[in-house]
Amino acid sequence: MKANNQEPAIAIVPYRSWPMSKLWALPLDKLEWPLGRPQRLLSGNLSKLREDDHLITFPRKPVFFCFRNKVQANISLMIVEPDIIHKHYIFLAKYLNWRFYKILTKNKGLIRNIKNGEFFYFGSTFLTNINEIDVKKKYMASLIASSQNQHQGHKLRHLIVDYIKELEINIAVIGRGYKPFEKKEDGLKSYKYSIIIENSSETDYFTEKVIDACLLETIPIYWGAPNISKYFDTRGFIVCKNIQEIKSAIKKMSDEDYDSKKEYIKKNKQTALYHADFKKRAAQIIKESISK
């Protein structure tokens, strides 16, 4: 997609692509262009960006401290991981926010303490070519889990897996920690329900875990953001606050329950399409701030 040559360009530096040195030398072909790439920037490196152009990137120490010689573009930061994981970057952003055009974050405490903070939630998706995925609900439920065990959500997932195995419940337990699978959709497209447990429970923090389920018309048995109803119609969810509620939800799964929620399943699929494209949403925030 091409953008207007005269307007400011907005590009994303992909995750972990920020160089340790010589920022100016990063090729423009390494960037992502959610709102389109102008003709004037079809080749070259970051030194070619104008002073009214914009870069958005993820937090790393070099992002906060690197020299920006030969780079005229404005730089914005998006902090998307849970506060418990990115608390160090939230601290740095509080005192080094002046180095950035905007700080995009869900952390309202940080937003209150800086002048250039903008509210931003993550979302995202691991799916590609969504319209080409064949969604046929042949099985009742799945649970996708890795072997990680650091955070509250990790531990809760493993406890639920133990519960499923103990009672020999017919739920497919898959993922790197159990039974690896090739594509994310393989753990969702054939299942009416999926037990979706975020890594942590934080206000406004939800990820591809729940979005991908909604995109593939799978009802989330959900533990995570306490205000998830702000983002989805939870009549198409089973929202749980603790392990007992998850166990209770598992017992209530049925073909009839799934069919009764189809209106909200379809609605949440459309909503999820918007939440999934977090890079476009971030770029749109920058674009709207320019025009103010």
b/e 67-95 (16+ beta carbons within 10 angstroms → b): eeeebebbbbbbbbbbbeebeebbebbee
**Can you tell me the distance from the alpha carbon of 79 to that of 87, in angstroms, rounded to the nearest whole number?**
10
Which pLDDT score, from 0 to 100, does residue 177 have? 76
- Whether residue 88 contacts residue 66, with contact meaning beta carbons closer than 8 Å, is answered with no
Q: What is the pTM assigned to this prediction? A: 0.93
Which pLDDT score, from 0 to 100, does residue 272 have? 98
Which pLDDT score, from 0 to 100, does residue 46 have? 98
**Can you tell me the distance from the alpha carbon of 69 to that of 19, in angstroms, rounded to the nearest whole number?**
13
CB-based contacts of 83, cutoff 8 Å, min separation 6? 90, 107, 202, 205
Which pLDDT score, from 0 to 100, does residue 231 have? 99
In the sheet that holds 117-119, the strands lie side by side as 10-12, 54-57, 74-79, 103-105, 117-119
Domains of the chain (ranges, CATH numbers): 2-124+278-290 (no CATH), 130-275 (3.40.50.11660)
Quickly tell me which residue has 């070519």 as its tokens.
Answer: 129
CB-based contacts of 109, cutoff 8 Å, min separation 6? none
Q: pLDDT tens digit string along 105-150?
A: 999 999 999 999 999 999 999 999 999 999 999 999 999 999 888 9
Which pLDDT score, from 0 to 100, does residue 290 have? 94
Q: Which two tokens stand for residue 228?
A: 């998830």
pLDDT in tens, the chain (292 residues): 777 788 999 999 999 899 999 999 999 999 999 999 999 999 999 999 999 999 999 999 999 998 899 999 999 999 999 999 999 999 999 999 999 999 999 999 999 999 999 999 999 999 999 999 999 999 999 999 998 889 999 999 999 999 999 988 899 999 887 888 889 999 999 999 999 999 999 999 999 999 999 999 999 999 999 999 999 999 999 999 999 999 999 999 999 999 999 999 999 999 999 999 999 999 999 999 998 7
Other beta carbons less than 10 A from residue 118's beta carbon: 18
Which pLDDT score, from 0 to 100, does residue 39 have? 96
